[in-house]
Structure 1
Amino acid sequence: MGLVFQLLSARLGTVTGQHLAQLIRQSYTKKMSVALWAFAQLAIIGADIMEIIGTAIALHILLRLPLWVGVLITTVDTFTFMMIQRYGMRKMEAFFMMLILVMTTCFWVEMVVSKPDVPQIFSGLIAPVVPKNAVVQAVGMLGAVVMPHNMFLHSALVGSRDLGPEPTVRKRREANFYFGVESGLALFLSFLVNLAIVVVFAQVFYKPDAPENVELPGLADADAVLKRTLGSAAQYLWGAGLLAAGQSSTMTGTFAGQYVTEGFFGNIFRKDWHRVAVTRGISLVPSMLVAIFAVDHFDNMGELLNVLQSVCLPPVLIPILKLCASTAVMSTEFTTSTLMHIICCLLTCVVIGFNVFLFITHITSAWSFALISIFGFFYLAFIAYLAWLPLDYVPKSNSDDDGWMAIPENSDDEEISLRQEP
């Protein structure tokens, strides 16, 4: 599901030369655009909370820093990434790949040390079975894997590839193919990381004959259990992998927040640091407040944040479907086929069905029933209205500066572009 919609997002950026947030702003009314921006921003805030706390826990494991100190240190990450960005997208990609390599290595070493039953792993991949007491967690994992803000980011990052002033259909098809290969490899690495984490935690924490109400270790005390079970080095491998995961997530959240805000509201910032301060402040301030005051309840909060990601997903997927099927937005060569459109609609319906299931499972009292019923009614009504509402696409004029954040491919590109200005 993540691969399909990331490919559609990349196709939007390649064919139109604009990213998803810009296209939504040009295709919907201001009120609807603000509503869709709110869903995207909520998803970014939810992701920021998880990555901030994850980084803080990693710093606590590696350096024994208090959690609140680790939370404050994560604010420096944004400015670090912006400094790397000034040297070009290729440097950013190299740094990002280094983080992924560290993360993958740490978690896979732990998986090998835990000595899992390899035939059972392949058996579970071919025919997975979800325990009855883990259905909610399994459904909630959708929001942890397919994140809404990644759709906005993916449609924007393809703009860093220079296809020429007027690329031909063949050139665009070639670009879409390589973007597809790139997305497939990235998601495969993500799969390997998630596989290693699930296997390690299953080996160390899960007991098939344990009572359903047994309290499992959380993210903060997982290192102690890993140390006791797999050796003293395991906790540092876990901390290093968690730190790399938090940093890579912070990087995607940083850039996604900028593209989302400028795409929906246009070029409203005079200087780069204004953009960074405002776009990250919108996400980081509430994220840090929640992280500081609710860090002791992170495991319960993490489950709710994954649900939040899943709830915010349909308001992103539906515009992608409508934009990719519109001949006014896309050329006829790149609009989605009828079969692909039906498949994507079915996948979107699956996400909505999962959200309804999550709503129902969180009803535990009369008060929660009333609250979730009211919220669920307005949420489903909004989704239905968004699916029914036709696009009103207005192409961007040449004089309309919409704040496209063009990232140079390398440090020399920016200098060349400055020399060419009159």
Structure 2
Amino acid sequence: MIKAWFKNIGPGPLVAAAFIGPGTVTVCTLAGVTFGYALLWAMLLSIIATIVLQEMSARLGIISQKGLSEIIRTEIKNPIIKGVAVLLILSAIVIGNAAYEAGNISGGVLGLEAIINNPNFNINGLSINTFSIVIGVIAFVLLYIGNYKVLEKVLVLLVILMSLAFLITAIIVKPNVTDIIKGIFVPKFPKDSILTVIGLIGTTVVPYNLFLHAALVKEKWHDTTDLKFARKDTIIAVVLGGLVSMCIIISAASIQSQDISNASDLAKGLEPLFGSFSKYFLAIGLFSAGITSAITAPLAAAYVASGCLGWSNDLRSNKFRIVWIFILLLGVLCSSLGIKSIDIIKFAQVANGILLPVIAGVLIWIMNKSSVLGVYKNNIKQNILGFIILLISILLSVATLNKVFQLNLF
């Protein structure tokens, strides 16, 4: 059974690798430190929402053999609406991923620095972070090879490593199982927790993953009989990713300190309480989360740009490579020099906040078009779940705008 699953494994683990980045690790850490197990239910909600939307995306990719951005470009006939949609998608995904790439690489660096001294070096008075360059080179080599199977195998191994690292960390801290079950199945909103809930959902239900998934499934599967494999692949990978996030929350809940601001602090904070092993496992998990996101973010941006602009999405085409190289180099530069692109990241938050309900709405619209999917279009149950998630994404969008612009709507 396990052997058969590995044989039919698809891009699901890449999707999980994409949403469990340093940002997710940090949000989950803060959720655990501040609210204990009380917000685990938000992760359960996120897992269900992600499975529903990613299954639609995978089904679209297999049946149409096109990426989501390609479908949007061809199916929206009004030139003004099409122009606005393409501009919004390019802004949120390409520019947004460029902004977040530095954070992805820096997250991997934090994991390494928790267990290894970082030998920085100076050039003309500038302090260069060596680990940032190392991670950038690893990501560059894997992406430049342009072989989907190689990329898939490496990321699957990293996701398994990351999952085991965070799972073992959660076991080491010996959590209260009854409290965990209550946290998962009994929704609570502790004081000042609304933005953390939004953060947990927002870092799991990621707009660019919908584009990435639709583009990658057609690299793996080409026939309608493969839909069952794609569905299993999606469910297993997203559930595994959600469990990783829950393990981080559980681990962080064991430390009653407000001095924890990120996963690196969590790794150091666990050491005096539970021994050096906990620090090492968490550091390995953070490194894996950083490097997997550092690979998938440029890849997703390249697929989106190619689909929106009508380019070839062959991993080895020059235009495709130019996009991911730009994203990766910008991330390495900002991370290695310690540059914090706050304004760009704020722009990315706004764009992604607006984009999620737009893309969710467009995806549901496309999934009901017989001209695209034929008999494989959404059924009533899928539409009901889709519209519930669309409503949640709209609330998330409003909350994101409220947070960034300080509108004081809540």
- Same fold? TM cut 0.5: yes
SS at match of 1:280: helix
Q: Percent identity of the aligned residues?
A: 20
Partners of 2:102 and 2:87 in 1: how far apart? 22
CA-based RMSD: 3.1
Spell out the pairing of 1:283-294 with structure 2 (5 A cutoff): 283-288=327-332, 290-291=334-335
Partners of 2:274 and 2:151 in 1: how far apart? 34
Out of 179-188 and 141-150, give the one that drifted further. 141-150
One of 131, 154, 166 as aligned partner of 1:95: 154
Partners of 1:126 and 1:303 in 2: how far apart? 33
SS at match of 1:272: coil
One of 51, 60, 68 as aligned partner of 1:20: 68
Larger Rg: 1
TM-score of the two chains, using structure 1 as the length reference: 0.73
Spell out the pairing of 1:4-403 with structure 2 (5 A cutoff): 4-28=52-76, 29=79, 31-32=83-84, 33-65=86-118, 66=120, 68-82=129-143, 85-86=146-147, 88-89=148-149, 91-163=150-222, 167=223, 172=224, 174-205=225-256, 214-267=258-311, 272=316, 274-275=318-319, 277-288=321-332, 290-291=334-335, 309-331=352-374, 333-362=375-404, 364=406, 369=407
CA shift in 2, pair 1:254/1:139, >3 Å: same
SS at match of 1:105: helix
CA shift in 2, pair 1:49/1:256, >3 Å: same
Letter matched to residue 286 of structure 2: L
Partners of 2:306 and 2:353 in 1: how far apart? 24
**Is the 8 Å Cα contact of residues 43 and 147 (structure 1) preserved in structure 2?**
no
**Is the 8 Å Cα contact of residues 2 and 145 (structure 1) preserved in structure 2?**
yes
TM-score of the two chains, using structure 2 as the length reference: 0.75
Letter matched to residue 59 of structure 1: L
**Is the 8 Å Cα contact of residues 254 and 280 (structure 1) preserved in structure 2?**
yes
Letter matched to residue 336 of structure 1: N
C-alpha displacement of 1:215: 4.3
CA shift in 2, pair 1:358/1:256, >3 Å: closer
SS at match of 1:185: helix
**Is the 8 Å Cα contact of residues 6 and 151 (structure 1) preserved in structure 2?**
yes
In the alignment, what sits opposite 2:33?
A: none
Letter matched to residue 253 of structure 2: A
In the alignment, what sits opposite 2:43?
A: none
CA shift in 2, pair 1:150/1:337, >3 Å: same
Out of 340-349 and 224-233, give the one that drifted further. 340-349
C-alpha displacement of 1:123: 1.5
Letter matched to residue 215 of structure 2: A
Partners of 2:138 and 2:162 in 1: how far apart? 17
Letter matched to residue 74 of structure 1: I
Partners of 1:305 and 1:201 in 2: how far apart? 27
**Is the 8 Å Cα contact of residues 114 and 204 (structure 1) preserved in structure 2?**
no
Partners of 1:304 and 1:203 in 2: how far apart? 34
C-alpha displacement of 1:78: 2.9
Tell me the number of residue pairs that the alignment of Structure 1 and Structure 2 aligns: 348
Partners of 2:61 and 2:404 in 1: how far apart? 38
Partners of 1:239 and 1:257 in 2: how far apart? 27
Structure 2 segments unaligned to the other structure (5+ residues)? 1-48, 121-127
